[in-house]
Structure 1
Amino acid sequence: MPGQLCPARLTELTKSQIDLQCELDFHNGQQSQAHANLEKYVHEVEVNLHLQLKEHQAQQSMACEAYREKEQSLTIQRITCTSYLGTLEVSLQQQRAIHASPEVITGFQDKIQKEQDRKIRLKEQEQSLIVSRVGALEAEDVAWKKLYEQAAQLTRVLVRDATSRYEREITPMRRRALEIQRELEILKSRINDDYLWFEESDVNNRAQHLARREEQGFRVEK
């Protein structure tokens, strides 16, 4: 109560104010650190999910490249076969022009038929490989999307749980910080009141001192 305090008490109140401010700074620092930890964790989880997606895309790209290499190989073989067929047909016409023996003509016809069959098989293999590539990659993509959605769902759960833990951790910190702020406001008000009382007390004491000096016969300047 004003009128019952002394400078020592004011010093004690000021020290209490400093202690409370230090505690408030500590709780605010803890809250900031907890929030930073949450942001770091969420970032790491999301980065991990993104890396999984990038890894899948890289694997899919490699698979596509492997299929294309096989397709290209079959295409080259088919083109070579077509060119050889043309050469054989020209040779057959030449042999017919010079009236080659039936055995020679039949030999060229057999070779042409063999290359035509080979060309058909290469074309079928090429088409089959294209169908396999499209089907396999589509099936893999569907399976991956399902896995990715599961991973994304897990990420959301992890982030939600981490956020819940964060809220549980900082709730008492927030509550205590608010309590400290209220205590500080009360303390500041008391300190201000005490300083005001001392100022008024100094004025009253000076007036009483001057009155006593005047009663004792001294000349007093008022």
Structure 2
Amino acid sequence: MKIKTLVMALSITGVLAVSAPASAQFGGLGSALGGGKSEAKGDIDGQVKSFMEQSGNTYKLVYNSLKAVEAAYATAEKAAKIQEEVAAFNKSTDPKEQQAKAAEALKTDGALVAELAQSKTAQEDTKNLSKDKQKLLLAGVSNFTIAALGAGNLGKTGGDIVKSVSSNPMSMGKVMPVKDALPILADTVSVSGKLLPALLKVMKGANLSVPDVKAESKPAELNADMFK
């Protein structure tokens, strides 16, 4: 799926994803996140484990990609701070902490990126970025697109998991982590539907070649050193 097509899809369906994440269907991430297909209904524990692993990968893409876009336009001092935040996030092994930070990034960093993209000087600022900063920007946008694809697919998968135990109250406790993740996945789709069109317009105006991103695309490399 090309990024232009994806932007249109996210813009149209983002609102639906917020109210009903199980209805957000954009295809799976494939090898990028280990797939998103539902497993056999009988193996609830296995389904939950697989879902949480894939959600964790999505959280990482969300957090790192938004921080990358922000860092691309940041001052040296601010970029250094972002670098520290990214390094700390990537070192964390606490799934709940990463989930919380990803949720916060969607709100705070998502709003900041939206403000940057809608600035009157956005295109000129983007043209004046160094080659490394432009590379960071492109990687961030590409990876956030992949995160949105994964979030849409996982929202459907998670909804199916929750529904599968609706008639068995004894199993509801097992799927609570899945239920808790659904709003964040929906927010990812919603935020991407608002951010990507603006970012795409800015980058095209700055004569940057925006990569085509498919559902199975491998995320671009983003490590803390790139945020300097």
TM superposition score category, shorter chain reference: under 0.3
Task: Name the TM-score, length of structure 2 as normaliser.
Answer: 0.27
Task: Name the TM-score, length of structure 1 as normaliser.
Answer: 0.28
Larger Rg: 1
If each structure's helix is expressed as a fraction of its own residues, which one has the higher value?
A: 1
